[in-house]
A and B are shown apart, each in its own frame.
Chain A
């Protein structure tokens, strides 16, 4: 990594040459009291190119700085981007590690058998495309194109999605729906007619009270909320955190409610009871906009704080105090919906309760509460109409998950396992940018599904576990080496951002658009990708919105004015027609009732851990994005393994010492494949253990991640399916400690 001149000398030399440039003077913003010069100084870098980050789903826009030799130096945030406000999170800052990682996939690979042992052989792109095209054609002929599905969680997936639709299937699933935020979208759509969206439409920077239920911002490093929480608390906002664990944000909260796990619904209902019965709710707002208030009032009449105390172990006076704190701040209060909310199977109902509570506080559609985002009306490059598929994934689940708005990744997986109850199953999977082995719960089921496939194509940058099962592996270049679709983000102000390559792709890797176009040509679907190259496509699209590729390459991010001045449509109680059956905010949900689900959320007791077992709670660390960064050299430098948090009382019972290694065994007898380090800490409740998700890798090719820490995904075998939209509740698993490895698992 070192050149002959050390870094500082190089900078000095370059800086001196450009020192005559008068605009080395920083711009001073008096209102912020901060030096606002671009993050690096003119002359200190050879060039910078715009990009948006691909490490997590926040997609912060940034600048990639490269030196004279074309070597990538660092990535910094884009000052004009509302996602990052000029500052990237640690994962984005460590993005250079993704580019430098020598363990990257380097060339297309095809499964073959050598001497009776299955292995991969290197192949040319043409060979790989032929293999895939033949496989897809076969499936289309024997079963129909609808039996192929795409799992996507990367920006490149857009192009494979177009390819799949051109081929005749619309079964495109992102695990972020049924494995993550699906219930909150459905819960909020049922209440307000609109979902929470991503980025979440919460006006944190102007709020006066933020209520977090299981949300662990600070460890969850989504750039926007973390920055805005810091801004809000500087202005005196208070935080109420409900979490069985003393998380980072809990330590900065005015109130931390150390709730018994799986009882949040009772707390929410009790809060509603207090707010209604003490007349703390926003009467005018409810009168103007809400439907079903009297039903709700009757429904929570008996759900007193005393009742909730018995269930949640939160004292009644605390429940009242926090309810009053929220109401005091109204309408500038946010009961945050969280993001990963697939917990116990009744999650849509719990998020309904969250939505309803916000309505009672009058925060939806108002400053300091929830705003109405807008995005640029972005037209895609024209292409022929896609064929209409005869079936979709939903046909595999007649009468179930009626309110699911997007495809369920787990649903498609389940519908791949052949069963007598169904006349066909999925036969082909294309997987882009998601490590399904660690993402989907019930690994045994996922593996069963994979074994039943005719074709598994994996497109990834790293040799993640899912690649080990593939028939064909296509190596994608990292986001620093490619173009992708324009980022059209829905936010307070509409913005667009460009991603362009800062350096040419390393090894024999290619961008997704090139792969999709090549595959389309192979399959006779080239006319669905009528542009010559990606620059032509992007330039055409950008010209439709008053800019061009050349301008975006220079500026990176472009802001537009809102077409409608309705950032806070409910601020002054203006008329508004909600996109619900009644046209109002449905406290009593007619949509849920119509489909046979409870129109008002009920408390349901969930299973508790048996004797000697502890509830498995998992979460994030701020320096990682689960599997995606587990091998990144800059980020493994910060954290290269996870640990299991154990309360000191429990550690004493089991005679556990800090930093000792052990295995975790769950209620179904499944043992973690790798051992995990113990962290004895007061910060976790005595009936639970906590670990960070994304470790415990078993693919040897991930040299920095292999064998480090343990995978919670191994232990999530009991799944509670949400009947409303099919979300996979994963927090109903309990673990105990073992001091020797489990039996060898044969796959």
Chain B
């Protein structure tokens, strides 16, 4: 089982619903966020293109954060989801510095926090909060090992990319372009 997420940049309008939904679902403290929106504009008026992405931890298969964690607080859970076990995190921040996507942050209570692919919902057969709330249905979540899942079909039929593949982390969040 390999969980992954795909964001359709053609449908994403950058409304940030995914950010607020994550915040309320996961009690993310105000002033912090586990996911965010990036808008990239290229060209010169009026020949312009705009790409909008919803970004978060990429739950990499070759995660540098898991590798550099001295206490195994950062670990791989079911389906390759990367999680932080609060009671094992010492707050050394090695994982934060080793993430090329700057996806992690320090929770006010001292441990390191980030997107968890809403594993508490996924375990019960639900989608993560961000995927469930997206008004344009721009987000897909599922099992890449299931060739009939929505995400496998999207990856097979659409052009896609991932972020900084040259960093060698093998990310599991993809962008349909």
Contacts and interface: CB of A to CB of B under 8 A. Distances in A.
A622 B18 CA distance: 12
Interface residues of B, number: 44
A248 B120 contact: no
B14 A638 contact: no
Nearest to A219: B13
B133 A76 contact: yes
5 contacts: A8-B120, A24-B124, A90-B20, A93-B17, A229-B136
A14 to B, nearest CB: 11
A637 interface: yes
B13 A26 contact: no
A288 B52 CA distance: 46
Interface stretch (A32-40, A301-309, A511-519, A545-553): A32-40
Contacts of B21: 74, 93
A47 interface: no
B50 A246 contact: yes
Contact of A256 (B16, B46, B137): B46
Contacts of A623: 15-16, 20
A88 B17 CA distance: 8
A15 B120 CA distance: 9
A1 B46 CA distance: 47
Contacts of A35: 125-127
A682 interface: yes
Interface stretch (B28-36, B56-64, B93-101): B28-36
Given A74-B25, A87-B135, A258-B46, A33 B20 contact: no
Interface in A638-667: 638, 647
Interface in A428-469: none
Interface stretch (B37-45, B70-78, B162-170): B37-45
A233 B11 contact: yes
B9 to A, nearest CB: 10
A647 B44 CA distance: 10
B132 A87 contact: yes
Interface of B: 10-11, 13-17, 19-21, 23-27, 29-31, 33, 41, 43-46, 48-50, 52, 86, 109, 120-121, 124-127, 132-138, 150
Contacts of B24: 73-75, 93-94, 96, 634
Contacts of B126: 26, 35, 37, 39-41
Interface string A183-227: 000000000000000000000000000000000011101010011
A89 B41 CA distance: 24
Given A218-B13, A637-B33, A248 B135 contact: no
Interface in A215-261: 217-219, 221, 223, 226-227, 229-231, 233-234, 246, 248-249, 251-252, 256, 258
Contact of A248 (B46, B52, B127): B52
A218 B14 contact: yes
B136 A622 contact: no
A7 interface: yes
A401 interface: no
A176 interface: no
A231 B136 CA distance: 8
Residue of B10, B13, B48, B136 with most partner-chain A CB within 10 A:
B13
A638 B21 CA distance: 12
